[in-house]
């Protein structure tokens, strides 16, 4: 809103002047805290428990790229004035969410498509709303067909409350103080550790950019130099946590506190991102945007209804609907749907879904590939089909991983 525009509230431009910068800052906190405060288990254990779940999640994520890019390159670019990057707004918004979409704002702008961030934020909004609404419809469908017993159970009034407030008698602790208040504020120490993780990621970003500049002629075609900070901050968080695992004998980092910092940053990020959303960018591309959203939703629903029962070894619906929630919105949406489908967490789905995140997040849903695909689509804008073939190849690889490396975990389809 223009400051001197007729009828404009005089305080609005000043009050919201810095909101556009908040998402790009807060997304670094969200990703840096992903693994801070909890011991990282051995890779072999993670792979053994979550292998089939990881393979399924990767197929769902890579399929969003394949569907989005395929539809865009085959049809949409022929009838609408849109760049090939348009095909990436499904996974950036659905699998990545508002945080990833907002975090890539600088990359979209640098590559000459500033409207991309607003379309990605619109995609994330469709994903979150659709994830909950369609996810609940799928759970009701599965309960009627007895694919998941937990969803059919009656829950107590306290558990069924829909106001989002914990009952007064069963409110969980938000976090533990690991330092005495008279010595140092525990929250400040945890926030400082997050800052160290982000700083490590920034150093990695500078190093990658400097390395690429040695052979790059045109800086506009930079891939490593265009890499956003937040996935590197996640790597910094892993490095910092591994150092604490090695040298910290007194458990100074509390996972609950880190989750509160992450939730705080994510909530403010979403509010700031939606408040600065440019509706005109969506309206001017409404038809291709709607077609792309419908294609993305159809892919995710097909994965739950058809693919999950063939790729997941047991409790296929509980596992699949959790993946549906994450692939449409955020991890919290997946956990929400999983809790409805499996209220007491009696299946193996919670462990498989949780462990899978350790190997899934660094690459998809805002990870390394999500951050690389936009620069790649710009570099290959004259012929983007090699990027599409990469996504199809990745799907094939993960199908081989599932049915070759985990063939003993295969279970026949039960209609």
Q: Report the distance separating Cα 190 and Cα 174, nearest Å.
A: 14
pLDDT attached to residue 394: 95
108 and 88 Cβ atoms separated by less than 8 Å: no
Alpha helices in 248-315 (DSSP H): 255-275, 279-283, 286-302, 308-311
Q: Taking 70 as the threshold, does the pLDDT of residue 49 lie above it? A: yes
pTM of the model: 0.78
328 and 131 Cβ atoms separated by less than 8 Å: yes
pLDDT attached to residue 12: 57
pLDDT attached to residue 299: 96
C-alpha atoms less than 13 angstroms from C-alpha of 251 in its C-beta half-sphere: 9
pLDDT tens digits for range 275-312: 777 788 888 899 999 999 999 999 999 999 999 988 98
Give the residue extent of every domain in the chain.
18-152+180-409
pLDDT attached to residue 341: 86
pLDDT tens digits for range 342-378: 877 778 888 888 788 778 877 887 678 888 888 899 8
253 and 37 Cβ atoms separated by less than 8 Å: yes
Tokens of 161: 């409350």
- Greater pLDDT, 170 or 263: 263
What's the mean per-residue pLDDT of the chain?
A: 83
pLDDT attached to residue 138: 93
pLDDT attached to residue 294: 96
pLDDT attached to residue 59: 95
pLDDT tens digits for range 206-245: 898 888 777 776 666 666 766 778 788 888 998 999 999 9
What is the rounded average pLDDT of the residues 153-160?
A: 43
Taking residue 216's Cβ as centre, other Cβ atoms within 10 Å add up to 15
pLDDT tens digits for range 24-42: 788 888 888 888 988 888 8
pLDDT attached to residue 281: 83
- Greater pLDDT, 118 or 1: 118
Taking residue 116's Cβ as centre, other Cβ atoms within 10 Å add up to 25
pLDDT attached to residue 177: 85
Q: Report the distance separating Cα 308 and Cα 341, nearest Å.
A: 15
- Greater pLDDT, 313 or 162: 313
Tokens of 332: 């919290």
What is the rounded average pLDDT of the residues 64-88?
A: 93
**CA end-to-end span of the chain:** 56
């Amino acid at each position: 809103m223009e400051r001197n525009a007729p009828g404009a509230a005089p305080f609005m431009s000043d009050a919201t002047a810095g909101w556009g910068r908040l998402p790009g800052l807060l997304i670094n906190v969200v990703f840096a805290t992903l693994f801070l405060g909890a011991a990282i288990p051995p890779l072999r254990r993670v792979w053994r428990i979550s292998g089939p779940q990881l393979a399924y999640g990767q197929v769902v994520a890579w399929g969003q790229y394949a569907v989005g890019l395929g539809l865009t390159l085959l049809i949409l670019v022929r009838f609408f004035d849109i760049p090939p990057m348009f095909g990436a707004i499904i996974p950036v918004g659905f699998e990545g969410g508002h945080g990833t979409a907002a975090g890539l704002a600088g990359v979209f702008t640098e590559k000459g498509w500033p409207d991309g961030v607003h379309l990605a934020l619109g995609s994330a909004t469709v994903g979150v709303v659709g994830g909950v609404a369609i996810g609940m419809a799928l759970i009701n469908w599965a309960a009627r067909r007895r694919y998941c017993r937990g969803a059919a159970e009656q829950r107590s009034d306290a558990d069924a409350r829909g106001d989002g407030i914990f009952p007064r008698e069963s409110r969980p602790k938000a976090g533990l103080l690991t330092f005495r208040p008279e010595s140092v504020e525990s929250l400040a120490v945890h926030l400082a550790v997050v800052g160290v993780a982000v700083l490590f990621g920034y150093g990695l970003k500078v190093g990658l950019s400097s390395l690429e500049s040695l052979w790059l002629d045109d800086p506009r075609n930079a891939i490593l130099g265009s890499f956003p900070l937040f996935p590197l901050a996640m790597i910094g968080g892993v490095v910092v946590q591994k150092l604490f695992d090695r040298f910290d004998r007194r458990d100074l980092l509390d996972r609950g506190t880190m989750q509160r910092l992450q939730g705080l940053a994510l909530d403010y990020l979403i509010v700031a991102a939606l408040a600065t959303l440019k509706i005109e960018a969506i309206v001017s591309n409404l038809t291709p945007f709607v077609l792309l959203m419908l294609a993305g939703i159809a892919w995710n629903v097909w994965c739950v209804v058809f693919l999950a029962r063939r790729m997941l070894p047991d409790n296929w619906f509980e596992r699949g609907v959790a993946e549906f929630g994450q692939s449409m919105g955020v991890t919290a949406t997946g956990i929400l749907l999983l809790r409805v489908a499996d209220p007491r967490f009696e299946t193996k789905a919670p462990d498989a879904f949780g462990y899978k995140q350790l190997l899934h997040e660094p690459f998809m849903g805002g990870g390394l590939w999500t951050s690389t695909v936009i620069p790649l689509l710009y570099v290959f804008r004259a012929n983007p089909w090699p990027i599409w073939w990469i996504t199809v190849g990745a799907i094939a690889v993960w199908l081989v991983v599932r049915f070759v490396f985990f063939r003993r975990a295969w279970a026949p389809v039960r209609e």
